[in-house]
Structure 1
């Protein structure tokens, strides 16, 4: 597709990744996405893993460091304080979540991950899905 120079496109690239000794699936869509500056975009995450009641969202910066954007615990939405005007979380931690990123800017270009987590007093288990990367 042809993009006009003034559109300042942002691209999301998704690559599946899951790591656990007991492999289960976490899914994230869309696989790729091009958006214009100041647009909003939605990223979706889902799982069907019994007893996992958290979905967490991360952004990987250009230096490969992961930053927590926020998480859902059951129906409680918990975006990081500094991002409350930038992102919205919807869904529940038990099976699905939507991350909405508003007013896209070039610094939103990154790889985005969702993770499913089980929380208990004795067990802490993460499954990570690597997908989405914005490129300006």
Structure 2
């Protein structure tokens, strides 16, 4: 069966410590791994960032504090790095998810109004 695998399952760290979480999947057509944060204060899942193929993107609200890297291909490894924990602020449940990247081309000029 196809699955997503995240390690370690639990971490206990202190402020200023660094953390690395690992994620892999076995779904042949998937080429994207996304990382989410769920804090105790706000149970909504917040997108931290994602790796599409080997291209990393971090959302603006997490930029400078969190990094994503690695390879989102099947049986490869993608990573979430937190170089310096901020204590309670970063105390949360972290999830990774695998997906197929969706790419769309949006025409820059759909139609022109006649003068």
What value does the CA root-mean-square deviation take over the aligned residues?
1.5
Kept in 2: contact 1:55–1:96 (CA 8 A): no
Tell me: CA distance 1:48–1:24, structure 2 relative to 1, closer, same or farther (3 Å).
closer
Give the whole-Å Cα distance in 1 for the aligned partners of 2:94 and 2:19. Answer: 12
Give the whole-Å Cα distance in 1 for the aligned partners of 2:48 and 2:102. Answer: 22
Show structure 1 runs of 4+ deviating over 3 A.
none
Kept in 1: contact 2:52–2:72 (CA 8 A): yes
Could you tell me which runs of 5 or more consecutive residues in structure 1 were left unpaired when the two chains were aligned. 1-22, 122-136
Could you tell me which runs of 5 or more consecutive residues in structure 2 were left unpaired when the two chains were aligned. 104-115
Matched, 1:36 2:17: no
Give the whole-Å Cα distance in 1 for the aligned partners of 2:28 and 2:17. Answer: 35
Counterpart for residue 100 of structure 1: 81
* Equivalent residue runs for 1:1-136 within 5 Å: 24-62=2-40, 63-94=42-73, 95-105=76-86, 106-120=88-102
Whichever structure has more strand as a proportion of its residues is 1
Give the whole-Å Cα distance in 2 for the aligned partners of 1:25 and 1:73. Answer: 18
Give the whole-Å Cα distance in 1 for the aligned partners of 2:34 and 2:69. Answer: 12
- Give the alignment's TM-score, normalised by structure 1: 0.67
Q: How many residues matched?
A: 99
Q: In terms of Rg, which structure is larger?
A: 2
Tell me: CA distance 1:120–1:65, structure 2 relative to 1, closer, same or farther (3 Å).
closer
